[in-house]
């Protein structure tokens, strides 16, 4: 695992217990989001169904919030506390929040249906931008031959320093557990990769809905419709998120985007022109590094495709 060690602000033992006589807001954590409806959890496992004050939105799984109880089982979110991290995807017109205060992104892929390697690169760039750990999980290893080819393709990311874990969540999820300890992790990936199967294996009581894949379309069916946070233990938590096909990074400027590719770091600032976008400019240090086989051409290709699509990238 790469050497970033930001820990979540997650210890709800510090949260004040609610007293029905107290008019003061109480502190809790959002554990589920259903559009503009939120489930907020407090010390001892009490959960209230809440809405935001007025027409405001923008709260997300993992947020620490102050709420005011309105009636039995219901409340209003008054304040979202400052976040250490906000993970979201965006295009030129809107953004889609994913999770807050996370310390690790777990990118779940599988050989069947086929995974989108461009999505992996976008998720890694987002993780680097937020300075959080990134773990790639190759699921469904019981499909031996397809997994062998997928693992060969993904070996590039292990060479870059990312952890690549192979497992079959249906058979044994235990190999994943050490990588989740002490983290608030969010599972991301395309539909059909097995995120909800992983959650059900980790926490059987979660009973997340799963769906069969379409062999004819080589695609997964959308099963998870909302984000949900689960507790593995006092210090380890995991968020299951709906499947995604795109991960727009419109909110990251071009300079920061290049820094999202870890192997580019030694060459950034070494180009002939200070405003080089590393596309086709003369004297580009990244182009030379590819020619010298110090950077894999696939990664530079993904970066260039990302730059070229920024104006039309979808969430």
Angstrom distances, CA of residue 69 to CA of 73, 168, 233: 8, 43, 27
Give the mean pLDDT of the chain: 86
Euclidean distance between CA atoms 289 and 266, whole angstroms: 10
Q: Measured at the alpha carbon of residue 101, what is the angle toward residues 97 and 103, in degrees to the nearest 5?
A: 110
Q: Token pair of 132, please? A: 């959080």
Q: What is the mean pLDDT of residues 54-78?
A: 89
Domains located in the chain, CATH noted: 12-80 (2.40.50.140), 86-240 (3.40.50.300), 254-309 (1.10.40.50)
Q: Which residue has the higher pLDDT, 285 or 6?
A: 285
Higher pLDDT, 120 or 218: 120
**How do residues 1-33 score in pLDDT, each as one tens digit?**
444 544 444 444 333 334 444 457 899 999 999
User: pLDDT by residue (tens digit) across 151-188?
Assistant: 999 999 999 999 999 999 999 999 999 999 999 999 99
| CA-based end-to-end distance of the chain | 28
Per residue in 45-72, is it b (16+ CB within 10 Å) or e — as a string? eeebebbbeeeeeebbbbbbbbbebeee
Calpha distance 311→309 (Å, rounded) = 5
DSSP string, 32-91: EEETTEEEEE-GGG-EEEEEESTT-----TT-EEEEEEEETTEEEEEEEPPPS-EEEEE-
DSSP 132-176: -EEEEEEE-TTSHHHHHHHHHHHHHHHHTT-EEEE-BTTTB-GGG
Question: pLDDT > 90: what percent of the chain?
Answer: 65
Confidence of residue 243 (pLDDT cuts 50, 70, 90): confident
Least confident of 78-87, 173-182, 211-220: 211-220
Mean pLDDT of 78-95: 90
CA of 218: how far to CAs of 151, 178, 188, 189, in Å?
Answer: 18, 32, 19, 15
């Amino acid at each position: 695992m790469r050497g970033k060690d930001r820990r979540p602000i997650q210890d709800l033992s510090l949260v004040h217990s609610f007293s029905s006589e107290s008019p003061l807001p109480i502190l809790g954590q959002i554990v589920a989001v259903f559009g503009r409806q939120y489930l907020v959890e407090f010390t001892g496992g009490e959960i209230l169904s809440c809405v935001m004050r007025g027409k405001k939105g923008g709260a997300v799984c993992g947020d620490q919030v102050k709420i005011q109880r309105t009636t039995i089982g219901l409340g209003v979110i008054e304040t979202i506390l400052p976040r250490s991290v906000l993970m979201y995807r965006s295009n030129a017109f809107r953004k889609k929040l994913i999770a807050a205060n996370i310390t690790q992104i777990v990118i779940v892929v599988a050989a069947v249906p086929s995974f989108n390697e461009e999505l992996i690169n976008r998720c890694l760039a987002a993780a680097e931008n937020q300075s959080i750990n990134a773990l790639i999980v190759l699921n469904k290893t019981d499909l031996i031959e397809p997994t062998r080819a997928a693992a060969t393709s993904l070996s590039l990311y292990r060479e870059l320093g990312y952890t690549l874990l192979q497992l079959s969540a249906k058979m044994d999820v235990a190999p994943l557990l050490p990588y989740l300890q002490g983290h608030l992790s969010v599972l991301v990936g395309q539909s059909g990769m097995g995120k909800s199967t992983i959650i059900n294996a980790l926490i059987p009581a979660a009973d997340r809905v799963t769906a069969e894949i379409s062999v004819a379309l080589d695609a997964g069916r959308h099963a998870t419709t909302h984000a949900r946070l689960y507790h593995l233990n006092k210090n380890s938590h995991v968020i299951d998120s709906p499947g995604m096909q795109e991960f727009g990074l419109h909110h990251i400027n071009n300079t920061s985007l290049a820094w999202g590719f870890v192997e580019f770091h030694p060459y950034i600032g070494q180009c002939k022109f200070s405003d080089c976008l590393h596309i086709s400019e003369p004297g580009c240090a990244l182009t030379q590094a590819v020619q010298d086989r110090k950077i894999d051409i696939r990664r530079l290709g993904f970066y260039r495709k990302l730059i070229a699509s920024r104006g039309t990238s979808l969430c």
